[in-house]
Structure formats: C-alpha cells, structure tokens
A and B are shown apart, each in its own frame.
Chain A
Amino acid sequence: MPRARRRALGAPALTSGLALGYLSVIVLIPLAALVAKATDGGWHHFWQVAWNPESRAALELTLALSGMIVVINAFFGTALAWTLVRDDFRGKKLVNSLIDLPFALPTIVAGLTLLALYGPTSGLGINIAYTRAGILAALLFVTLPFVVRTVQPVLIELDKEMEEAAASLGAGRFTIFRRIIFPVFLPALLSGVALAFARAMGEFGAVILIAGNIPFKTEVASLYVFQRINSDDTTGAAALAVLLLAISLAVLLLIGAIRRWATRHDR
C-alpha cells in the first residue's frame, strides 16, 4: 500500500519543490525585501516613521472607513443574499450574476463609473469627488460581493424544515432567527465582512481618482504609500506598507480561526 500510495501521488518532492520555489520568487522574497527596508534603521526608527502624523492620520481614516464598510456590508450584503435565496422575481438570475461584477471589473473603471454618475459632471446635483463619502462609495462598490457570496451558500443549505418545525412548536419569527438561522449564519457573515474589511484597508485603484489625495482629509493608507513612493521616500512608504501587511495577515488568521470554529462539530 505505501508504495502504491506514493506512486498515486506522483512525485511529491518535485511538484512541491517547484511550487514552493515559484511562491518564494513571486511572493515571499519581495515581501521580505519590503520588511527589510522598513526595519533597516531598527524597530524604534520604524515606529517613528510609521507613526508620523500624516501616516497615522491616513491609517486611522482607512480603519474608520473600513469599519463602516463592515457594518454597511453586513446589512445590505445579508439583505441581498436573502433576496437571492428566499425571494423570487423576474431577472433574479441576472441579479445573481451582477453581484460578481465588482470582482471582474478593473478597479480604476469602478472609480471612474462612480465619478461619471456622482462626480463633478453628474447631472444629479451631487459631487462626491475629493470627499470621504466618495471614498466610502468606491469601497462599497468593490466590496459588494464578499458578504453576499459567503452568506448565500449557508442560506441555501439552511434547512427550511427546521424553521417550520420551530414555528409549529410555537417559536416566534425572532426566536427562529436567533436560535436556528443565526448560529450557522454568523460564521459566514463574519468571514464575509473580514474579507471586505481587508479589501477596504488596501483598496487603491477605485479610490485614486475620487479621493484627490488631500493629506489628513481624503488620503487613505494606500494613497499615502503611493504618494511617498512618488516623493522618493521609500522608507516612509515601506513603514506604513508593513503595517498594512500585518493587518492583512491578521485578518487572514482571523478568517482561518472563524472557519475552524464554524466546522468544530463536523470533526
């Protein structure tokens, strides 16, 4: 058996080795170079650079906006998933496909479309260019699919009979939601908002045309990093970039933990 097994699995050392080598060249070595650059003046210097007022303001604004993204997506993403699973209307298939459009559409085009409708040339009498509301709209556009696509499969698999059984036993709609739907729905929702949060923290293409890059006002973290590179201050850029990298890693670890917690009964 062990011999057959090894042959069935192909040549583990070769495929794994090639995959690891590729991963190192494309992802790991560049990121290592980034961390090395940010910390080559020592950790104390790193914090001083990363925590300068403009960098800090950019990070705080990005965190605040991403927090709002979480709340808004939790609400509307759930409503959309619910509509697609439990509701029925003409054109539902089309709406279902449209949800993925932000994944397929280049981010720079996403930003431009919002400016075309809500920007300076808008016929609606509103102008979101160079405002925080504009950045929020851009972030909502690009994060739209995450919650819908994590919550939707859970709602599909959720047993309608269990809800009906609970109702026949006298449970109210609120109790059904809290005791039957919520426990399976919560991990999916948390994964979805975590992905949306990570995306909002790092988004660049969709906001670059809208934000106008005004320091302390509309300069989000990615724009600050970009502007530092253009000013030839790679140390300043690298410092905030490393903080963004740490946040991304933390979110991924969190999503992994949520997944393990959600499947704890399956194992």
Chain B
Amino acid sequence: MIGKYAVRFTALGYLAVILVAPVSIIFWRAFEHGLGPFWAAISNPYAVHALKLTVMVTIVVVPLNTAFGIACGIAIVRHRMPGMGLVNAIVDLPMALSPVVVGLALYLLYGRDGWFGGWLFAHNIRVLFAFPAILLATLFVSLPFVVREVVPVLREIGIDQEEAAATLGSSAFTTFRKITLPSIRWAVAYGVVLTTARALGEFGAVAIVSGGIAGQTQTLTQYVQASYENFDLTGAYAASVVLAGLAITTLFLMTMLRPKEERSGNRDA
C-alpha cells in the first residue's frame, strides 16, 4: 500500500516539477498585470504578422502532408515493391533528426552555392530567407505524422473488402473513397492534428532558413525568441500563451480522437 503511494507521488511530483508548474507560471506571468498589457503585446503589428505567417504556413503544409501521408501509407502497406522497406525507414527520419540538421540541409541546397540555389538565384527566384524556405522546412519536419498513424490501420483492416469491391467492378478510386478512406479516417484525423501542432510550433529548422526578419519572415515561435532576447518579456510571454493555447487545443483534440481510434480495434501493430 505504501509502495503504491510512493510510486504515485514520485511520478506525479516529477510531472509537476518538470511540466505542470513551468507551463502554469507562463499563463500567470502573461496575465499578472491584467488583460490590457497582454492585449497590447499581442496586437503589436509584428506579433500579428508573425501569427499570420505561421497560420499561412500551416494551412499549406497540412493538406500537402496529409495527401502524401495517405499515398505513402498505401504504398508502404499495399504495394510490396523492392525498396519499400527503405522508404519506410526514411519516413521516420524527420522524427529522429535534429531540426538544425534539417535547416542546414535546406540552407545548403537552396543557398547561392547550392545545387538548386545557383539556378534559382540566376532566375531571381527567392526561396531562402523567404516563404518557400519556411514552407519546405515545415514540410520536412511534419512529414511522418499522417503516415505513422495510417500504416498500422491499413495493416489491420487487410485487403479483403477492397478485393471484394474490385471483384464487383468498383474502380480503384471508388474503392479508395468508399472502402479504404472510411476505415482510416480517424487515423488520418489524428495524424492531421499532430501535423498541425508540429507546423504551428516548428522553430529550429525555420530559424535557419527564414532569416527571421520582423514583419516579413518571422514566424510566431521566432517572435517569442526575438522578444525574449530583446528583453521584451511581456511580448514573449504573450506570444507563448497564444502558442500554448493552440497546443492545449491540439491536446484536447488528441484526447477526443484517441478513444475512437482504439475502439476500432487498432493497437499499434
């Protein structure tokens, strides 16, 4: 009995010290002088621009990586071709890789001396330190989430129903729309939530390729860093609270979606 309480208090105490207390304090700090200073900090034009940029990047990234995630998931599970094991491994890479490495790789590829950069600079197309580079960095880091959610579900459901539909004369697209998509929709939804969270919060890879010019190529996470380093703590805390609010919404959606996913009999296979 004592052992049980010891484990409980050790575990929850650790959670409080490492996670709960620090995150709570940021809300208190942001609002300690009332709503006025918070509102002033968050409606500053640079902060508003940074938020808009972050949202815009997310709006482009999420559909692209969702479409890729579904196509890649189907390719990995259904099309047993040589080299698919390798594809499977490469898809995991962005999860285990430092965002700084990602940023540097893009910086080298699209920089003036890079394989693509030379041509782009010659044709006056700006990728590095502009919107496209921020987009590419965010696409890279948020790439695996939908694939990783979809693959175990596709394995689980098998191909019996898809084959039956095909035998009855359904076209490939109809089979996908009527049979495959309904069975993976919760996994896709969960993957979309994770992709969104990562796209909204990406910092390291973007920090290297965006240039971080306030009011132009500065995302909201970079705004937090810049404000902190310029001793504008109120601005940093206010923008952090906005990001934390988005994170908590994400968390709520994750909790809502998870039981549905498990009810359909899918355990990480």
Contacts and interface: CB of A to CB of B under 8 A. Distances in A.
Interface in B211-247: 221-222, 224-225, 228-229, 233, 236-237, 240, 243-244, 247
Interface in B89-112: 89-109, 111
A12 B100 contact: no
A109 B101 contact: no
Interface range on chain A: under 10, 10 to 19, 20 to 34, or 35 or more? 35 or more
B63 interface: no
Interface residues of B, number: 95
Interface in A226-249: 226, 229, 234, 237-238, 241, 244-245, 248-249
Contacts, number: 280
Contact of B74 (A15, A199, A225, A244): A15
Interface of B: 4, 7-8, 10-12, 14-15, 18-23, 25-26, 29, 68, 71-72, 74-75, 78-79, 81, 87, 89-109, 111, 114-115, 136, 139-140, 143, 159, 162-163, 165-167, 171-173, 175-176, 194, 197, 200-204, 207-208, 221-222, 224-225, 228-229, 233, 236-237, 240, 243-244, 247-248, 250-252, 254-255, 267-268
Q: Is the interface of A mostly helix, strand, loop or mixed?
A: helix
Contacts of B143: 23, 26-27
Given A33-B114, A204-B203, 16 more contacts: A10-B175, A12-B78, A16-B81, A19-B71, A19-B87, A80-B15, A87-B7, A97-B254, A103-B194, A113-B25, A116-B29, A204-B98, A205-B203, A222-B204, A248-B97, A256-B89
13 contacts: A8-B159, A10-B74, A12-B75, A29-B109, A34-B108, A79-B7, A87-B7, A89-B8, A97-B254, A104-B197, A113-B26, A116-B26, A121-B233
A98 to B, nearest CB: 7
Given A8-B159, A204-B204, A245-B97, A83 B104 contact: no
A64 interface: no
